[in-house]
Amino acid sequence: MNVRPLYPIAGTISSRSDDGSSPAISLPQSFNYFGQPYSQIYVNHNGHLTFDAPWSSFSPQQFPMYGTRDIIAPFWTDLDNRANGDIYYVQYTNGSLLQQVTQDINRYFSALNFQANWIFIATWHEVAYYPTTGTRTTFQAVLTTNGRYSFVLMNYGSIASTSRSVQAGYDTKNSSHHINIPGSLSNNATGPNSTFRLNSNVNVPGRWAFRVDHGSRGCTFNGRRT
């Protein structure tokens, strides 16, 4: 199962639970998120990742939230994996996926000479909106680092229509750094014409790439900083 821009869908499957989360997932090395090193992560079923603790929030808020948590949110909305869909998480420290993400990051951030030594992939695969509607939405959050530079990719597959609001992007404690993917909290977020799926900041429709360490918050593509 590997349809561009998605990376392979594999790994541990999280529990079937509304507003649930994965257990704490230990990382083999720290992930530098805007100067804060993290050695664990949680995959929250409502479309976001957190570091300090699991988070059950299903009501998306616009970034910047000026809150107390670091969050990576590829598709924050009210999801429900009890009836259909699976939520996967997996990490690698060697193999072909490290080569693939290395090539991708160097294509988008060509000045850094990046060589990945770790990749973490969380995939929400054909997950329904609450309450178990039978709709099927697929997206990913991909984290990678070489110990110095850190990046997040957000990849979008098929996105079912819904009247629910969706926030996509990331935020930090007190919102010193934050990104909203265009279309967040709008009618253009979901359905076959979802702006997340059709657009990109790296010229790959359905993929968005961000640098999330001490450096710049995005990348320069066609002379435009994103």
pLDDT, tens digit (0-9, with 9 covering 90-100), for 172-185 = 999 999 999 999 99
Specify whether the CB–CB gap between 140 and 6 falls below 8 A. Answer: yes
Could you give the CA distance from residue 91 to residue 28 in angstroms, rounded to a whole number?
A: 9
Gyration radius (Cα) of the chain, Å = 16
Find, among 47, 37, 63, 50, the residue nearest to 164 by Cα: 47
Could you give the CA distance from residue 39 to residue 116 in angstroms, rounded to a whole number?
A: 17
What pTM was estimated for this model as a whole?
A: 0.92
Render pLDDT for 111-157 as a digit per residue (tens, 0 to 9): 999 999 999 999 999 999 998 788 999 999 999 999 999 999 999 99
Nearest 5°: the CA angle 51, 73, 44 is 55
